[in-house]
Amino acid sequence: MINKTSSNSFSEIIDFIKSLYPSENPVPLHAPSFTGNEKKYVIDAIDSTFVSSVGKYVDRFEEMICEITGAKYAIATVNGTCALHIALKLAGVQPGDEVITQPLSFVATANAIAHCGAKPIFLDVERETLGLDPTALKNFLQTYARIEEDTCYNKTTGNRITACVPMHTFGHPCRIDEIAEICNYYHIALVEDSAESLGSLYKSKHTGTFGQFGVYSFNGNKTITCGGGGAIVTNNEALAKKAKHITTTAKVPHPYEYVHDMTGYNYRLPNLNAALACAQLEQLNAFLKNKRELAKRYQEFFGLLDIPFIKEPVNTRSNYWLNAVILSDSKTRDEFLKVTNNANVMTRPVWRLLSKLEMYKDFQSDALENAQWLEDRVVNIPSSVRV
């Protein structure tokens, strides 16, 4: 690993990254690439006057997500957080319930749980996958769970544990099949936070399709973007129809009357954004190939410097959304972040652990040893599709 005084190594890294992105100054962490039919489809949507939640591009977007992931149903939403919120609600999460997740994740994972009125339980991650550790999940449930009439309860709090939300960090799939098996045994709904992993496979199966629901994000910094955007996938027809209904204000279909039959949400993806998304999705395979080639370059380069580069775990094919390296300690990490950003090469630390944030710091967790170790050392490096 980099030692604490390796400023020459920092310079070498900066020069290498700039050579990968010679036309970029500063070099962004992850910028979108609009080289396909984006303008054509957006203009077409504008010309159609269907720029809000109804239009052919919304329908096509949902069809394309099904084609890519292999899921039977997809529901477009305005962003990934809304997608996760609705997925949790339809998975049965109610106010006062508890939902198991990981602390190494973007804040939206915990926020969606809180939007349901539920409480997160933070369990440790693996150093290899960066995702929820199946062993940590099993150990926690063996210690704290009790099953009563096919319902899982926390013996410490007395609350129901209704769902588990693992996250495929930076696009690298976690050991989702083992997590699914554990959740099934304890009667806990599995909702995959696949926000970062569109195009990633675990044992040849697309992430997001192992649980009751999977969700994706199409934010501006994702592999595929439409400015915002999200999607829910499921193989359950009844739940898919309900998801579509409540994300579109729960309006009863009628040519002109406005009647709503339940409390719904205005989480609709506008046709204008869907047009952009469709053009982006047409290029997904090319983007993935480009990003895997970049990851290979990084892996070879950092290998020569003896700096661990985070690569796809065994049995997976990662989309390599955000590339990352592991530095020796937090002091070296902070020095690296300062030097690279001052040199106009955008880098960032991994997120502050959710279990440390003010609004989530008092919730139950295990020791989180791996999560803390990773928080002190992981740095993301530029990962845009190169043109």
Which pLDDT tens digit goes with each residue over 289-329?
999 999 999 999 999 999 999 999 999 999 999 999 999 99
pLDDT band at 219 (very low <50, low <70, confident <90, very high): very high
Distances (CA, A) of 205 to 120, 176, 318: 28, 10, 12
DSSP 35: -
Q: What is the pLDDT of residues 84-119, one digit of tens each?
A: 999 999 999 999 999 999 999 999 999 999 999 999
Q: Which domains are delineated in the chain? A: 7-29+284-381 (3.90.1150.10), 38-281 (3.40.640.10)
Closest C-alpha among 136, 99, 105, 134 to residue 119: 99
Instruction: Specify the pLDDT at position 6.
Output: 65
Q: What is the pLDDT of residues 338-366, one digit of tens each?
A: 999 999 999 999 999 999 999 999 999 99
Nearest to 105 by CA among 132, 84, 80, 127: 132
Determine the pLDDT at residue 1: 45
Crossing angle between the packed helical segments 7-20 and 284-304, to the nearest 10 degrees: 150
Counting Cβ atoms within 10 Å, is residue 22 exposed (0-12), middle (13-18) or buried (19+)?
exposed
Q: Mean of the pLDDT values across residues 145-172?
A: 98
Closest Cα partner for 80 from 206, 296, 185, 225?
A: 225
Question: What does the alpha-carbon distance between residue 179 and residue 163 come to, in Å, rounded to a whole number?
Answer: 12
CB 160 within 8 A of CB 98: yes
- Average pLDDT of every residue of the chain: 97
Residues 125, 131: contact at Cβ < 8 Å?
yes
* 3 confidence band (pLDDT: 50, 70, 90): very low
The β-bridge relationship of strands 378-381 and 323-326 is antiparallel
Measured distance CA(277)–CA(200) in Å, rounded:
18
Residue 53's pLDDT is what? 84
For CA atoms 2, 374, 354, 217, the dihedral sign is positive
Proportion of the chain in helix, strand, coil states, percent, rounded to 5: 40, 20, 45
Residue 2 pLDDT class (50, 70, 90 cuts): very low
Helix 56-69 to helix 271-281 angle (10° resolution) is 40
176: left (phi over 0), alpha (psi -120 to 50) or beta: alpha
pLDDT band at 7 (very low <50, low <70, confident <90, very high): confident
Alpha-carbon distance of 250 to 256, in angstroms, equals 15
4 has a pLDDT exceeding 60: no
Could you give phi then psi for residue 331, rounded to 5 degrees? -65, -45
The Cα–Cα gap between 163 and 374 comes to 25
- Tens-place pLDDT, residues 34-44: 999 999 999 99
